[in-house]
Structure 1
Amino acid sequence: MSFDYDLLKELTEAQGAPGYEDRIRDIVRREFDGVADDVRTDAMGNVVGTIEGSENPDYEVAVAAHMDEIGFMVKHVTDDGFVQVDALGGWDPRVLRAQRVTVHASEGDLPGVIGSPPPHTQKEEDREKKDEVEDVYVDLGLSGETVQERVAVGDIVTMSQETERVGDLVTGKSMDDRICLFTMLEAAKRVDPDVTIHFAATVQEEVGLRGAKALGVDLDPDLAVALDVTVANDIPQIGSDAKAVTDLGDGAAIKLKDGSVITNPKVHRRMRSVAETEDIPYQMEVLPAGGTDTAGFQNTHGAKPVGAISIPLRYMHTVTEAANTDDVDAAIDLLTAVLDTETGEHDYTL
């Protein structure tokens, strides 16, 4: 790896559910120190680090990656001290059984587990019952009275998982989208741009691209580029190459479309040209569903040319999300090269 794995591990192990990205925000501001010419945070919690262009500072590019991870909010504490939650983001309830979590209470973090009844005690109808988030109970291992004193409705719950190297992969709970946030920070440290670059760490992407939409009103970029993970269904359970979208190890993905956006053809063609000129591995991405901050910028502050670079990810929205380290290298290299070759003279109008 040619990148800072310790920083990636720190970002992906830190907790930050939608609307409560404070810990990630602190890391981002620290990493921008000495790198960006200006750093600011808006009322929603988006962080923008700006590097002024040396040749054409009036031409502005916005680069966005979101800080939040899917999580939960406490909605009820039972008399026996079990915590019930409401989802923040898109969960598959099947992956929640027998997981460790952290409850972020006002007086400090509390470790907990989402239990699963043993098969010995389950009836046939119990085994066939469809999992739902509303059926999740967090066990804190404390008395009902203690839990009710320490946990309140509105407290945040996140998954607890270490980030690990597994072969050529790096896996953890919040690669979506911390691995792209990391890519953005690494590129910010490497670029020497002709134009002004606004590196934006956005909030609340997992609940409707809310941070990027708000930021798209405050910033008025000439070009916007979003960074997010994309689906790599190159696993036996899928079985069809047509459903794979991307393959791990084949390079950074240049987005053509997802469920929220169709990227500007001139933008994605230039990204492809840069990748080929710089000999950076890449693949093209057509994602049938899902949305990214790309659409947040396209839908606010007038018509903007938008593009997106994605990192292929297996097992999305689980605690074992997995990316190939070569693809991370490629994404950093491609973003850096695209920004370093942006002069403000490319015509993206259609």
Structure 2
Amino acid sequence: MAYHSPVTRHQSVERRGMDTTQQLLKELTEALGVSGYEKGVRAVVRRHLEPLGEIERDRIGSLICHLGEGRPRVMVAGHMDEVGFMVKHITDEGFLRFQPLGGWWDQVLLGQQVIVQTRKGDLRGVIGAKPPHIVPPDERKKLVEKEKMYIDLGATSKAEVEEAGVRIGDPIVPACDFHVLANGKSYLGKAFDDRVGVALMIDLLRHFADAPHPNALYGAATVMEEVGTRGAKTSAEVIDPDVAIILEVDICGDMPDTKPEESRVKLGAGPSLLMMDASMIPNLALRDLLIETAEELGIPL
């Protein structure tokens, strides 16, 4: 069940003023879909892909849209799952202990509003910890680790939580709406990693659905990337591509206290090209093709 917050007059005015890219990003980022529980966001992606080509789904839930026949087969992929949590334990007092799904920096968790997806519907909660007023002075400046945090649903007992529909294993999603910021070209929201890549994939298929191209083109919205790139592996087995281009987010270096050698990426200054990660060493011919094509088209890289 997707969570939809009440629409205020301000939000409805904001939505009417959005262009098609912003509307697509709003739909994708506000959809719920932590790793392994991508049903909500998958429905949104499917709705956008169905008019464009032949749709199939692999055995663990990745969506694949196919345009054209023959070789080479070009796979363009972005992952639709987001980082989140899973219910691990319900205390006698009605608080939830949680297990992270994907990587989390503990500093950003306290005070985060969340949505617990249960069989009876979605429940709002907030992440908390022991109040600083009763923490010893020597511990107040220390990082609170997620193992010492809990989710407060406003319940007062385990029985109340269970009656509301909560079970061990239920997914927990950060609660955050999409907003266009003051400059009109920067956005606030959740799950940009990697709903932005999924939006790019959808936009690319929209273009080539009406434009001639010599390749068999496969757009993939993959699952469970945040817990080990699982969907990328299974969808690649289905597609058997000759080349794959992965649309992912990068780390910007245009923020305070970031050195140029740590990141030279700047927001709004064009796409970046990742040369290597823990699982990939670049194909130099493909690297050269991308760099030279960008130079020919005047695209900063």
Q: So what's the TM-score if we normalise by structure 1? A: 0.75
Out of 156, 159, 162, the position equivalent to 1:143 is 156
Moved more, 133-142 or 257-266: 257-266
- Partners of 2:73 and 2:263 lie apart in 1 by 35
**SS of residue paired to 1:157:** strand
Please list, as runs of the form range in 1=range in 2, the aligned pairs for 1:225-240 lying within 5 A after superposition: 225-238=245-258, 240=259
Deviation at 1:143, TM superposition (A): 2.7
* 1:162 alignment counterpart: 177
The aligned amino acid for 1:5 is Q
**Identity between Structure 1 and Structure 2 (%):** 38
Conservation of the 8 A alpha-carbon contact between 2:74 and 2:241: yes
SS across alignment from 1:185: helix
1:183 maps to what in 2? 200
The DSSP-based 3-state class of the residue aligned with 2:274 is strand
Q: What root-mean-square deviation, in Å, do the aligned CA atoms of Structure 1 and Structure 2 show?
A: 1.7
Rounded to whole Å, the distance in 1 between the matches of 2:129 and 2:147 is 14
1:208 is the counterpart of 2:221? no
Give 1:242 deviation, angstroms. 0.8
Whole-Å separation in 2 of the counterparts to 1:274 and 1:2:
28
Distance 1:93 1:160, change over 3 A: same
Unaligned runs of 5+ in 2: 1-17
1:21 equivalent to 2:43? Answer no
Cα deviations across residues 83-110 of structure 1 (Å, max 9, x unaligned)? 0100100111111011100000111000
Name the structure 2 match of 1:130. Answer: 143
**What corresponds to 2:266 in structure 1?**
247
1:17 & 1:125 partners in 2: Cα distance? 36
- Using a 3 Å threshold, how does the CA distance of structure 1 residues 135 and 119 change in structure 2: closer, same or farther? closer
Cα deviation for residue 199 of structure 1 reads: 0.5
Q: Is the 8 A contact 2:86 2:172 kept in 1?
A: yes
Q: Distance in 2 between matches of 1:31 and 1:103?
A: 26
Residue pair 2:129, 2:149 contacting (<8 A) in 1 also: no
Shift of 1:273: 1.7
In structure 2, the residue matched to 1:339 is none
C-alpha distance in structure 1 between counterparts of 2:59 and 2:77, whole Å: 17
SS at match of 1:246: coil
* Letter in structure 2 aligned against 1:277: E
Partner of 1:307: none
* 1:153 maps onto 2:168 in alignment: yes
Counterpart Cα distance in 2 of 1:162 and 1:74? 22
| Native 8 Å contact 1:96 1:114 kept in 2 | yes
Q: CA deviation at 1:217?
A: 2.0
Q: Is the 8 A contact 1:24 1:67 kept in 2?
A: yes
**Which residue of 89, 114, 130 maps to 1:101?**
114
- CA contact 2:82–2:194 (8 Å) conserved in 1: yes
Query: TM-score when scaled to structure 2?
Result: 0.87
Q: CA deviation at 1:263?
A: 1.9
State how far apart, in whole Å, the 1-side matches of 2:144 and 2:234 are. 34
CA offsets, 1:292-348, max 9 Å, x none?
A: xxxxxxxxxxxxxxxxxxxxxxxxxxxxxxxxxxxxxxxxxxxxxxxxxxxxxxxxx
Q: Name the structure 2 match of 1:285.
A: none
Residue 268 (1) aligns with residue 287 (2): yes
Question: 8 Å contact 2:197–2:247 — kept in the other structure?
Answer: yes
> Is the Cα contact below 8 Å between 1:204 and 1:211 reproduced in 2?
yes
In 2, Cα distance between the equivalents of 1:66 and 1:125?
Answer: 42
Aligned-partner Cα distance in 1 for 2:191–2:273: 21
SS at match of 1:254: coil
Residue 75 in structure 1 maps to residue 94 in structure 2:
no
Q: 1:12 aligns with which of 22, 29, 34?
A: 29
Does the CA contact (< 8 Å) of 2:74 and 2:215 recur in 1?
yes
- Secondary structure at the aligned position of 2:140 is classed as helix
Cα deviation, 1:178-229, whole Å, max 9, x if unaligned, reads 0111011011101232111110110000011111112222221111111110
In the alignment, what sits opposite 1:41? Answer: 57
Tell me how many residue pairs correspond in the alignment: 277
